[in-house]
Chains A and B, each alone.
Chain A
C-alpha cells in the first residue's frame, strides 16, 4: 500500500522537552510538508521540503526544526522554544517539488499534548 504514515498517533510531552514526530512516505514524492491544526483554525504551514537536503520555513516555523536526509522521511522536532505546542500535526506530500498544480496527500496526523 502506498501512502503516508505518521507516528506516534498520540504523544505526550512534559514542558521543556524536545520531541520528534515521524513522517514517512512511499509514494516517491519529491515534496513534503508539515502543518499544524488548532481547533477552529485552518491548517498552518510549519516547514516544507521540495527536495532532499533542502527545506524552507513556512508561516509558523519558530520553535520547530526539520531534516530531510532521505526522500521518504521528513521528521519534525518540536523544541522547548515552542510556546504553545499542543496541537494536531499533519504531514503531507506532493509529487513535484513545488506546490503549483500539485495535489497534496496527507498522513493520519499526530496529536501532541504538553502536560
Chain B
C-alpha cells in the first residue's frame, strides 16, 4: 500500500533563504507527483506536476525534482518571502489510479 511522508511537519526559516521540502513515497510505481500549496482555511493551489518520466519541473522560484527509484521528491524554494508561508502538500498518483496525499509541511517564513 502506498504511503506518502512529508518531513518535517513544520519548518521556520528567515526571509531570503533558500529551502527544500521533502516528500517520500514507498511504492515507486507512480504515474505522476503533484505539489500543492494550501493557505489556512483555503483550498489547494497546484504548484507543479511532475510526470514519472520527468526528473524536474520549474515555475518561477520553485523547482520540484523527482527520483522514482529512491521514492523521493523535493520542492526547492529560492529566495523565500513571507508570502510563501503556507502548508505544502505532495500527492502521488499511482499506476493503479489511486491518489495518495502526504500530511504536508507547514512553512513559516520569518520577516
List chain A positions with a Cβ less than 8 A from chain B. 4, 6, 40-45, 88, 90, 92, 98-109, 111
Q: Are A109 and B46 in contact (CB under 8 A)?
A: no
Q: Are A99 and B42 in contact (CB under 8 A)?
A: no
In the complex, how many angstroms separate the beta carbon of A38 from the nearest chain B beta carbon?
10
List chain B positions with a Cβ less than 8 A from chain A. 4, 31-32, 34, 36, 41-46, 49, 51, 89, 91, 93, 95, 97, 99-104
The main secondary structure of chain A at its interface with chain B is: loop
Separation of A15 and B28 alpha carbons in the complex (Å): 43
Q: Are A111 and B103 in contact (CB under 8 A)?
A: no
Q: Are B42 and A103 in contact (CB under 8 A)?
A: no
Residue in B closest to A41 when the chains form the complex, CB atoms = B103
Cβ-neighbour of B102 out of A42, A88, A103, A105 (below 8 A):
A42
